[in-house]
């Protein structure tokens, strides 16, 4: 039976957590205050929060710095060609985020100012409840809790909640705990809400980790039910597993050097990005060869690729470009990860 929920876990003091955060916060390029009040730059904060959606911090850092160098202001992002934005985003995955980011930048530029409240931020494309609360707490000091996987894990362990990681009840419990902690913050401290949200996520990411709970480093150890029970990894319960879909594809690399036959995807995964012909089977590949009068191809190797719960095994076939076969210079195109993996195999093999 699920244990009763105790708001915020008795004794889990936000002042303790913030003090711990001051001593060991990671230095990240978007954690830059713009004034004495400690509030953050809205553009940098917003770009970072979009990049951090479903992407690890370590992977985001180099992309964030390169993206800001390419598009240093919201005006620069709003006015850039879409292909240029997608090319700068290539490798981060979930490319719809880049399109939404640019569309939202255009809305901000047209309005002449950044949003202030979470409600206003959420009206922009690609921004949901979590992202809007995170941005508004950091750039405006709005006292709204954020709830991500790290926060839910901390709350589940503090209170010994026998709930699945993806259970709506755990999300609600985490919001309730966060709201209770927000009420304990100093009234005059504008940066406190954003700092508390970051501290909670930092605690989950670096100490209260899913596979390795470093309880000896936790400022809330004495208040934690899971620690007292001696089994922090029991919380939260694992989600129900999604069925894995396994597929094989054949990737046809037609061309040489930096010139390849690619087309822009219009739907499905990664619309707007460029990809070579992908076939479902050897028979379909042979039909494509015949229809385009290609000389027999050479199999160069294969690689694995995962998208959500789909697991692909992709064979790479090479065909020199002949006659009227249309190829494009791929250097400045936004390429899918599949394309870049296939190119790496081709470059090693020919």
Q: Is 162 a catalytic residue?
A: no
Domains of the chain: 14-234 (1.10.340.30), 245-349 (3.90.79.10)
- Packed helices 42-51 and 96-111: angle between N→C axes, nearest 10 degrees: 160
Query: Is the per-residue pLDDT at 143 higher than 70?
Result: yes
Average pLDDT rounded to a whole number, residues 18-26? 92
CB atoms within 10 A of CB 259: 15
329 or 105: which leads in pLDDT: 105
Instruction: Using the predicted structure, report yes or no on whether residue 204 has a pLDDT greater than 70.
Output: yes
**pLDDT for position 241:** 82
Per residue in 96-134, pLDDT tens?
Answer: 899 999 999 999 999 999 999 999 999 999 999 999 999
Could you say which of 27, 49, 142, 229 is catalytic?
49
pLDDT at 91: 83
Give the per-residue pLDDT at 1: 37
Residue 151 has pLDDT above 90, yes or no: yes
Q: What average pLDDT score do residues 137-163 get?
A: 95
274-275 and 298-307 as β-strands: parallel, antiparallel, unpaired? Answer: unpaired
What pLDDT score was predicted for residue 175? 95
Say what the pLDDT of residue 296 is. Answer: 83
Average pLDDT, the chain: 90
- 14-24 and 192-206 helices cross at what angle (nearest 10)? 70
**DSSP string for residues in 6-53:** -TT-TT--HHHHHHHHHHH----TT--B-STT-PBPHHHHHHHHHHTT
Please answer whether residues 127 and 150 qualify as being in contact, where contact means their C-beta atoms are separated by less than 8 angstroms. no
The per-residue pLDDT for range 295-321, each reduced to its tens digit, is 888 999 999 999 888 999 999 999 987
Instruction: At 8, list the tokens.
Output: 């915020």
Q: Check whether 258 has a pLDDT greater than 90.
A: no
Percent of the chain scored above 70 by pLDDT?
Answer: 95
Task: Please give the pLDDT value at position 309.
Answer: 85
Q: Which has the minimum average pLDDT: 39-48, 91-100, 225-234, 245-254? A: 91-100
3-state secondary structure of 247: strand
Position 2 scores a pLDDT of 44
pLDDT of residue 46: 97
């Amino acid at each position: 039976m699920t244990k009763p929920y105790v708001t915020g876990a008795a004794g889990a003091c936000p002042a303790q957590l913030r003090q711990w955060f001051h001593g060991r916060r990671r230095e990240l390029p978007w954690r830059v205050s713009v004034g004495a009040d400690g509030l953050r730059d809205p553009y940098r904060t917003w770009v970072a929060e979009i990049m951090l959606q479903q992407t690890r911090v370590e992977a985001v850092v180099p992309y964030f710095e390169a993206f800001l160098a390419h598009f240093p202001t919201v005006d620069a992002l709003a006015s850039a060609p879409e292909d240029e934005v997608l090319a700068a985003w290539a490798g981060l995955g979930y490319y719809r985020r880049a399109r939404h980011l640019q569309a939202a930048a255009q809305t901000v530029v047209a309005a002449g100012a950044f949003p202030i409240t979470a409600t206003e931020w959420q009206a922009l494309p690609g921004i949901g409840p979590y992202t809007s609360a995170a941005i508004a707490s950091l750039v405006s000091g709005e006292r709204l809790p954020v709830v991500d996987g790290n926060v839910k894990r901390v709350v589940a362990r503090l209170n010994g909640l026998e709930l699945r990681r993806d259970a709506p009840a755990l999300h609600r419990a985490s919001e309730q705990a966060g709201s209770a902690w927000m009420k304990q913050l100093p009234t005059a401290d504008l940066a406190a809400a954003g700092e508390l949200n970051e501290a909670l996520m930092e605690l989950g990411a670096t100490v209260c980790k899913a596979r390795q709970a470093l309880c000896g480093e936790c400022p809330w150890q004495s208040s934690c039910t899971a620690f007292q029970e001696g089994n922090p990894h029991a919380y939260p319960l694992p989600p129900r597993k999604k069925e894995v879909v396994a597929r094989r594809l054949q990737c046809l690399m037609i061309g040489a050097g930096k010139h390849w036959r690619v087309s822009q995807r219009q739907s499905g995964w990664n619309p707007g990005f460029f990809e070579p012909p992908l076939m479902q089977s050897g028979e379909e590949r042979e039909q494509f060869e015949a229809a385009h009068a290609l000389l027999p191809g050479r199999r160069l190797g294969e690689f694995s690729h995962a998208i959500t719960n789909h697991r692909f095994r992709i064979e790479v076939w090479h065909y020199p470009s002949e006659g009227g076969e249309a190829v494009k210079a791929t250097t400045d195109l936004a390429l899918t990860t599949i394309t870049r993996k296939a190119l790496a195999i081709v470059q090693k093999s020919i």
